Amino acid sequence: METNSQKVTSNGNGNIIAPIAGDHNTNNITQNNEFNESKEKSLKEAAQEIQELLEQLEKDYPTETLTQKGKVADEIIQKIDDNPTLKDKIISVIQAMGIEALMQSVNHPVVNVLKAGIEDYYKKSK
């Protein structure tokens, strides 16, 4: 019996590298990786913009109680609504990767309250 041993490795970015026998078109693989990188970039940009808004608002609004966090979340939703570019970016990220991915990328105590507001906002925007 003949055995065919092939080395399979990972490049550390979640991509598996393995030899492929025969003629294969790798264009689809390249396009998928570029699409995933684009989604990741959009996710990071949207999360960063939300993070910056939260940091700006926490200077003027306390965030110790649930009511205070709700007020900050309402302000964020209003700022998103007033900025069509940010609004489109956030909706696009949610469609591509989900609300969980976006909220996990934001590091702030208001994020759990904000998540509910953004979910509601997203549903109304459809």
Whole-number pLDDT of residue 126: 75
Whole-number pLDDT of residue 96: 92
Whole-number pLDDT of residue 101: 94
How far is the C-alpha of 89 from the C-alpha of 122, rounded, in Å?
12
Per the listing, tokens 């995933």 go with 36
Whole-number pLDDT of residue 18: 55
Each domain of the chain, given as residue ranges in start order, spans: 42-125
Task: Give pTM, 2 decimals.
Answer: 0.69
How far is the C-alpha of 3 from the C-alpha of 13, rounded, in Å?
30
Burial zone of 99 (CB within 10 Å; 0-12 exposed, 13-18 middle, 19+ buried): middle
Whole-number pLDDT of residue 89: 93
Whole-number pLDDT of residue 36: 76
Instruction: Give per-10-residue mean pLDDT for the chain (126 aa).
Output: 51 53 53 70 94 94 94 95 94 93 93 92 84
Whole-number pLDDT of residue 118: 92
